[in-house]
A and B are shown apart, each in its own frame.
Chain A
Amino acid sequence: MADILIIGGGIIGVTLAHELVRRGEDVTLLEKRFIGSGSTFRCGTGIRQQFNDEANVQLMKRSVELWKKYSEEYGFSFQQTGYLFLLYDDDEVTEFKKNIAIQNKFGVPTRLITPEEAKEIVPLLDISEVVAASWNPTDGKADPFHSTAAFALHAKEMGAKFYERTEVKDIIIKNGEIKGVKTNRGVFKTGIVVNATNAWAKLINAMAEVPVRIPIEPYKHQAVITQPIKAGSINPMVISFKYGHAYLTQTAHGGVVGGVGYEEGPIYDLNPSYAFLKEVSYYFTKIIPALGELLILRTWAGYYAETPDGNAAIGRINEIDEFYIAAGFSGHGFMMAPAVAEMMADLIIKGRTALPAWWFDPYRFERGEFRTTAIQMG
């Protein structure tokens, strides 16, 4: 018998298990493959507060505080090396000035800088077409492998139970009450289920017969990594909407990692494509010509779980006693996870939270109430 059962061992499920057990709850987590195997271990590593709406800025500000706290406590790599958005025309500059105002309002120190200043931050940049850049030095990046493993390890040490290679087949509900979940390893009895399966969320919702329309669809996005180069060559996450909605940075291990906005879906397929390899190489060498001479080691694919407004669905489904969802992250899940975990734990334990959960209300799609589309790269 588990008091709270989390389905999905990605960063959202793992940090939630960690947060709940830290607050003294009895937690069990089920993961169909291994921790991080869904999309977390495939992510682009970035953590930013540069969003275009108040709710996401607030949430990410809290998330960065938590990333800092836990990376220090658990000893995994989280570097506040900034996010650098390269801007190429007046329209982009106008738009980013608006975003900067929102970010500044909540104490996020983003500012507009000149192309020359951008080049000082990343000397390898080609700034010949850049007119300005939006720069926040407190954004950053973390190692998805070591961070997820650390959250999982500490959650387990505090008493959370993790079952890997355990795939949920059905959710047992009687008279509107959850009784347990059926898996390939038998039935787990529980009264509370959290759907933290992101790209697979629609499958779990179907098993629970969620009576609300929550459109979350899996889209294949790909990423690339190059040979390691000397540390400090590309410190921040560099973003260029002009060149393919690209994001790229250097990992702690030295390789240049990133992706572009080349999307396929909705689809459950993770085979990297040749078309992506050509696209990402084209755009990356436009942004940083020196990348052209680097060897590509690998490409891979992961899912963006897309909703109509690019914001996740986070909250309780009232018709089922008790069913929660925290899914529908499209390139934002990794960066938001610690704050989402805090928000979800508040909702499960206290029924309310100081963080802006209303923005992510899972009923909004049914009501036809869409949010400003959250800034998304890749």
Chain B
Amino acid sequence: MRPLDLTEKDPSKKVTIYFEGKPYEAYEGEKIAVALLANGIYWLTTSTEGRKRGAFYFGPLPIVINGIKNMDGRKVPVRANMRIERQNYGEFQEEVKIDEKKPVLRYVVDVAIIGAGPAGLGALLEVQEHLTVALIEEKSWLGGDLWLKRVKQKGFDDEPQEVIKAMRDRFNQNVRVFLKTAAIGIFDEGEYFLIPAIRRNQLIEILSKRVVLATGAVDNILLFENNDMPSVFRRAFALEVMNIWGVAPGRKVAVVGSKPEEITAELERWGIDYVIVPNPKRVEGRESVERLIDMNGNVHDVDAVIVADGRRPDINPVTQAGGKLRFRRGYYMPILDMNHRIRDGIYAAGSAVSIKPHYANYLEGKLVGSHILKEFGFETEPCIYEEKLREYEPETVPLHRIEYDSMNLEDVQICGCDVSLKKVYDVVESGITDLQIIKRLTHLAMGFCQGRFCLFNGALLVSQRTGIDMTRIDLPVARPPIKNVRMKVVARRD
């Protein structure tokens, strides 16, 4: 087994890949970043300003594969004899052969569900008997965040993966599933909605009469010095490498953030040595984390850090689709009408709406499914689900104070695109307190993630430094494409 393997892999898939010229053991179909992690390699790419970056916190992951620059190291699967090299963010392929243009794939359905977590699956199971459905999921698995867990979740009778498999078995012939497919926007097209989506380099256009945004939540980004260092993990990535790929995030990890319980049980299941550090100040190391120093000056010798600081709804699909937001329970969430819609025809469910247990998200999916059936003239009683859902009070996420005075703000990355906390802090201190202008002067929320991971901390900083309430901050609206897409993929066909 490789240094960080937790499980034996299928020997028939075993291949050799080369990273920076050296051979490593890998398995066909594995994610490149995972194969390299298993071999103990964390530093995979370099930011514009020269910061070493890994695959599992934030920022893009451009790498060179077989001589081709600017490939996505998070998406491309391992193939035998692949040669992989590091690159700088700004490097790109100058010699391009515009490949033969693939035809666009077009589908027409009654309901398009974006996101195959418990909410999306709940909506699907509710409507599939009467309506045709396209289920669009960016990841390669069904079940969303629930699929990443092995510990039994409240409300479900079985272990997470068993629960999801059972749901999958119930899909009928009205359902079309699009895995590894990213919806890039929701557009009005008369009586339909048009949802362009990308699977590898294939453009897919889905026309639907109704849309369900089951687009989930994003992990919070915690601010500490060198928080972008390779081997710092977001909770979801740590779960994925352990539970999907059978690879450990490190030999001894530190868990930081306000919700360590969201990861510690899983670490214990795998027997991974961990320490909970509630107040990280700084991580240090040459190519990846070697030690973590807390606010009290204690030094923890760890080789990885997992940030488990709760989640907040991903508001980008909501605002792009024309929804409005409000601030409640410590996060921005969509404003819904009586029928659980952000506007006519577009429903929202799950952790895209509020942070609550997986089972409640599933019920909320069933609820919007029921509303949709009613709109199509079927006899349903959404109030049954509404009633059940009331048993689950959504979580309140505490707003932590950013420790401006105890940290070297230049070393703290608020955004994966080389935006330091200092850059944003200085603009606010200069008297500019409008997040809309701060964004444009610092490039916060204007890079690869389009604010998904960085905008909230920007709003928090403005609020804490100026006293402007979070409810009164003018948040930018997400613009299409809501997921990065290569220009050649969406170019009009002749």
Residues of A whose CB lies within 8 Å of any CB of B are 34-37, 41, 123-124, 145-146, 149, 164, 226-231, 233, 253-254, 271-274, 277-279, 281-282, 284-285, 289-300
Contact = CB atoms under 8 A, between A and B. Distances in A.
Which residue, of A37, A271, A297, has the highest number of chain B Cβ atoms within 10 A? Answer: A297
B256 to A, nearest CB: 29
Contact of A297 (B96, B432, B484, B491): B484
B94 interface: yes
B463 interface: no
A226 B91 contact: no
B31 to A, nearest CB: 18
Interface stretch (B153-161, B244-252, B441-449): B441-449
Contact of A296 (B93, B322, B446, B481): B481
Contacts of B432: 149
Which residue, of B48, B92, B94, has the highest number of chain A Cβ atoms within 10 A? Answer: B92
Contact of B480 (A36, A228, A230, A299): A299
B450 interface: yes
5 contacts: A37-B436, A227-B484, A281-B492, A292-B96, A297-B448
B: contact size bracket: 35 or more
Contact of B93 (A228, A271, A293): A293
B335 interface: no
Contact of A35 (B91, B98, B437): B437
Given A229-B92, A291-B487, A296-B490, 14 more contacts: A34-B436, A37-B436, A145-B440, A149-B437, A229-B90, A273-B187, A274-B187, A277-B490, A278-B492, A285-B98, A285-B488, A292-B96, A295-B448, A298-B479
Which residue, of A229, A254, A292, A299, has the highest number of chain B Cβ atoms within 10 A? Answer: A292
Given A285-B487, A296-B487, A299-B480, A290 B437 contact: no
Contacts of B146: none
A279 B492 CA distance: 6
B96 A298 contact: no
Given A164-B434, A227-B60, A289-B98, A299 B481 contact: yes
Interface string B81-112: 00000001111111110100000000000000
Contacts of B474: 34
B70 interface: yes
B92 A294 contact: yes
A93 B199 CA distance: 43
A297 B452 CA distance: 12
B90 A124 contact: no
A8 to B, nearest CB: 16
B135 interface: no
B323 to A, nearest CB: 13
A285 B491 CA distance: 8
A76 to B, nearest CB: 10
B487 A34 contact: no
Closest 4 CB pairs of A and B: A292-B488, A230-B90, A281-B491, A145-B440
A298 B95 CA distance: 24
B199 to A, nearest CB: 16
Contact of B487 (A226, A272, A273): A226
A299 B437 CA distance: 18
A289 B488 CA distance: 9
B185 A298 contact: no
Given A228-B90, A281-B491, A297-B448, A274 B185 contact: yes
Contacts of A149: 432, 437, 441
B408 to A, nearest CB: 24
Nearest to A293: B93
Contacts of B417: 228
A112 B90 CA distance: 32
Nearest to A292: B488
Nearest to B92: A229
Contacts of A295: 60, 448, 484-487
Contacts of B462: none
B144 to A, nearest CB: 24
B450 A289 contact: no
A170 B289 CA distance: 61
Which residue, of B196, B440, B448, has the highest number of chain A Cβ atoms within 10 A? Answer: B440
A294 B60 CA distance: 13
A282 B491 contact: yes
A10 B225 CA distance: 38
B148 interface: no
A34 B434 contact: yes
A278 B490 contact: yes
B306 interface: no
Contacts of B443: 253
A278 to B, nearest CB: 4
Given A272-B480, A298-B450, A293 B488 contact: yes
A231 B90 contact: yes
B437 A281 contact: no
B90 A254 contact: yes
A30 to B, nearest CB: 16
B194 interface: yes
Interface string B179-191: 0000001010000
B318 to A, nearest CB: 14
Contacts of A297: 446-448, 450, 484
Contacts of B434: 34, 164
A157 to B, nearest CB: 11
A226 B185 CA distance: 17
Contacts of A164: 434
B491 A278 contact: yes
A281 B98 CA distance: 12
Nearest to A298: B479
Contacts of A290: 92-96
A293 B93 CA distance: 7
Contacts of B492: 278-279, 281-282
Nearest to A156: B431
A254 B48 contact: yes
A254 B70 CA distance: 15
A41 B481 CA distance: 19
Contacts of B48: 228, 254
